[in-house]
Structure 1
Amino acid sequence: MNLLESVKMAAAMLAANKLRTSLTMLGIIIGNASVIATIGIGQGAQKLATDQLEALGPNVIFIVPGSRKARNSTFNLPRTLVWEDAEAIVSQVPGIKAIAPEINQRQLVSYFSQNTNALLIGTTPDYRSVRDFSVAKGRFFNEIDLQRNKRVAVLGAEIADRLFNNRNPIGEKIRAKNITFEIIGIMEPKGSFMGSNLDETVLIPLTTMANQIVGKTSPYGLELSWINAEAKNTDSIRASKFQIENLLRLRHNITDEDDFRVETSKQMLDIVGNIAGGLTVMLAVLAGISLIVGGIGVMNIMLVSVSERTQEIGLRKALGATQGDILIQFLVEAVIISVSGGIMGILTGVGIISLVGILSPLSPGISASAIILSLGISGGIGLFFGVVPAQRAAKLDPIVALRSA
């Protein structure tokens, strides 16, 4: 008997037992769908995190206040950085092109009867270029606004929509902490970063923030939430990071643990990539276990099938079928079940990925390599778990088989 005849016979036998075949394939379907969906969603999450970090700008360096111990032991970061630190960095570190210090505070922002909670950010005009923000309408505040402590504000896209409902807000007045600000610009949508929505912000001059919102809270200078620094090019990032650390240690008279931390966007990108990649692999392995469970189900059903078809096996062997013919037929049945279940599982997984892409901000990827690998594993599982039932069927003595029937 050639392979084509074995395939035809196996297909006819499986079609004759549709319910059993369908239930046997269910484990393979679930396993393949889980693998494809897990890998696709994991890649989508990794891409989302990568896009968010790359949107910060490839040459951005973040100087964050507080030691590691302080950051781990308190929710509010200690304010160990001051404006003079930022000025020293831009003037004394040759690889730094511009700096944008920040003071952040959550405030209730209102426009007549409309109220919303927003992150109020006091910063400098260089913030727009350092953080790669674009203005959609109006303008960003300038050096004159900064020097004169002007009460002007630039709204994030989402805050503008909430307060003005698609109306042009340029020239309108909003209030925050009982202070009135004139809206001079609206930012382009930026999205979320590390759990913080960058479109829920109100940007004002740093001097206005310091003098009229938070006040002077330190005798050592104007305390900052953190400092954004832009390196001149990618090649100067590493040297600039080293020089910033040494400069701040000298300025802060540090002999033990640093009271700040310097991070680059590339470091953060690598960390997020490693975490997302590790989680994807772990979830894919867990999903792969369900494929093995499905393979065990294939073996169990095939063993039952051998027991039920002893008369057929005995008759075929009495008519001249060899052990190899019987072995191939049962192996082909197991492979057909596994491959068919694999294809249906892949289609289900692709459907799940598409649904997640529609209902969430993720952009899951459908990996061709994952599909090929999953389908190959399905066929391999059919062969592996079909060997034992096929060997048992092939070794049946025809006389014993016919008598037992």
Structure 2
Amino acid sequence: MDIFESVNMAVKTLTANKLRSTLTMLGIIIGNASVIAMVGVGQGAQRYAAEQFETLGPNTLFIIPGSDEARQRTFEVERALTLEDAEAIASQVPSVRAVAPQLQSQQPVTAGNRRVSTLIVGTTPDFTIVRDFDMDHGRFFSEQDVQRNTRVVALGSDVARRLFDDSNPVGQQIRIRNLSFEVIGVMESKGAFLGNNQDDAVYIPVSTMSSRITGNTSPYGTEVTFISVTARDENAINAAQFQMSNLLRLRHRVVNEDSFTIRSQRDALEIVGNVTGALTIMLAAIAGISLFVGGIGIMNIMLVSVRERTQEIGLRKAIGASQSDILLQFMIEAVILSAIGGLIGTGIGVAGVTLVAVTTPLQAGVSTAAVALAVGVSGGIGLFFGVFPARQAARLDPIVALRSA
């Protein structure tokens, strides 16, 4: 039998039972759409995370107190990082461009009759270099402000708007823990980082923070929450990590386990990438189950079709159709069902990914590999699950088939 004739007969058979054919394709449609959408959203999440880490500043490293092993055993940190550690890194590590220690505390801030709770960050002038912050208007505090414990602040853009609306806050007074501070600048909007609003913060000299807000709590010097560092360039990141580790081990007199951890943007991004990649694979695998279920649906309907068309099969074999002709006929029907379902599912999946990209911050995109895989798998499933019913039809004895009709 001619292949084109077989395709034509298969199309006529399937369109004669439109509702049943549509319901049979539903599992394949849902499976394809789910796989494409999940992979697209997962890759969008990875790109979003990469962009978020870029907002931290170029070639940035973070030094946090305590080792990973110690944090797994207990929440207590043996020795805190200090302002003196940051000063030693700035003066003794040649591969470092700038260092910004940060001492943080959540505090209420008052301006006139308005009161907001926000993050108070005690830091140094190099903070704007390390974290790639710019001033919208006014200035950031200077090294002299740090040395003199000056009560000056630079406001994040969101805090400035919540306290002063659209008016210029530079030169105005705010109160933190009943102490007056002069606003000397407002930061440019930086946006959120993994859900944390970087514009909802107030920046003051670290010396003022430790002496007036939090107090000195470490016997080793002025305690800081963590230290941000920027390497001279991308090629100097590994050297900076190595040199800072050695310096801090000497300063902290480390014998066995480090009392600190150094993380780079690359390390953090790799961790997030591994997590989002694993979630993407898991979601795609779960969505792929519906493809398997759709294949079972195709096999089920094809078996029903064989039962219904027993007389037709017997008649065709009686007038000379071979087993391969019957096998090909039913295989074509199964492949058409899965292929059309795959194409419709692909269209829905692409539309879903586009909708996510338009309505959310995730830069979801259609993965060509995911589309090819989903369509290929759906076609393969139709072929695989269509074999058994097709072989049953091909093996029917024509005399028995005619009598059973």
Q: Please, what TM-score do these two structures have when normalized by structure 1?
A: 0.94
Asked if the contact 1:99/1:230 (under 8 Å) is kept, the reply is: yes
Deviations 1:288-344 (A, max 9, x none): 222112111111111111111111222222333332222222111111111111122
One-letter identity of the residue aligned with 1:98: A
Asked if the contact 1:79/1:224 (under 8 Å) is kept, the reply is: no
**C-alpha separation in 1, matches of 2:232 and 2:337:** 60
Which of 381-390 and 139-148 deviates more? 139-148
One-letter identity of the residue aligned with 1:174: I
Q: Displacement, 1:349?
A: 1.8
Asked if the contact 2:58/2:132 (under 8 Å) is kept, the reply is: no
One-letter identity of the residue aligned with 1:205: P
Long gaps (5+) in structure 1: none
| 3-state SS in 2 of match to 1:263 | strand
One-letter identity of the residue aligned with 1:199: D
**C-alpha separation in 1, matches of 2:371 and 2:25:** 17
> CA distance change for structure 1 residues 282 and 125 in 2, over 3 Å: closer, same or farther?
same
- 2:183 is matched with which residue? 183
One-letter identity of the residue aligned with 2:107: Q
One-letter identity of the residue aligned with 1:230: T
| 3-state SS in 2 of match to 1:296 | helix
Kindly indicate whether residue 249 of structure 2 is the aligned counterpart of residue 241 of structure 1. Answer: no
Report percent identity of matched pairs: 57
| 3-state SS in 1 of match to 2:31 | helix
Asked if the contact 2:79/2:259 (under 8 Å) is kept, the reply is: no
> CA distance change for structure 1 residues 38 and 170 in 2, over 3 Å: closer, same or farther?
same
Which residues of 2 match residues 220-259 of structure 1 at below 5 A?
A: 220-259=220-259
One-letter identity of the residue aligned with 1:133: F
Q: Displacement, 1:113?
A: 3.5
Q: Displacement, 1:380?
A: 1.0
| 3-state SS in 2 of match to 1:364 | coil
Which of 166-175 and 387-396 deviates more? 166-175
Long gaps (5+) in structure 2: none
Which residues of 2 match residues 159-174 of structure 1 at below 5 A?
A: 159-174=159-174
> CA distance change for structure 1 residues 16 and 77 in 2, over 3 Å: closer, same or farther?
farther
Asked if the contact 1:64/1:227 (under 8 Å) is kept, the reply is: yes
- 1:286 is matched with which residue? 286
- 2:342 is matched with which residue? 342
One-letter identity of the residue aligned with 1:116: V
Deviations 1:131-181 (A, max 9, x none): 112223332222233233222222223333333444443333332222233
Which residues of 2 match residues 2-401 of structure 1 at below 5 A?
A: 2-72=2-72, 80-401=80-401
| 3-state SS in 2 of match to 1:132 | coil
| 3-state SS in 2 of match to 1:363 | coil
Asked if the contact 2:310/2:401 (under 8 Å) is kept, the reply is: yes
Asked if the contact 1:95/1:240 (under 8 Å) is kept, the reply is: yes
Asked if the contact 1:98/1:230 (under 8 Å) is kept, the reply is: yes
**C-alpha separation in 1, matches of 2:105 and 2:76:** 11
Q: Displacement, 1:221?
A: 1.0
One-letter identity of the residue aligned with 1:50: A
One-letter identity of the residue aligned with 1:140: F
Deviations 1:4-25 (A, max 9, x none): 2222221222122122112111
**C-alpha separation in 2, matches of 1:187 and 1:61:** 22
One-letter identity of the residue aligned with 1:247: L
| 3-state SS in 1 of match to 2:109 | strand
Asked if the contact 1:79/1:223 (under 8 Å) is kept, the reply is: no
Which of 150-159 and 231-240 deviates more? 150-159
Q: How many residues align?
A: 405
**C-alpha separation in 1, matches of 2:94 and 2:172:** 41
**C-alpha separation in 2, matches of 1:167 and 1:368:** 50
**C-alpha separation in 1, matches of 2:205 and 2:384:** 68
Q: Please, what TM-score do these two structures have when normalized by structure 2?
A: 0.94
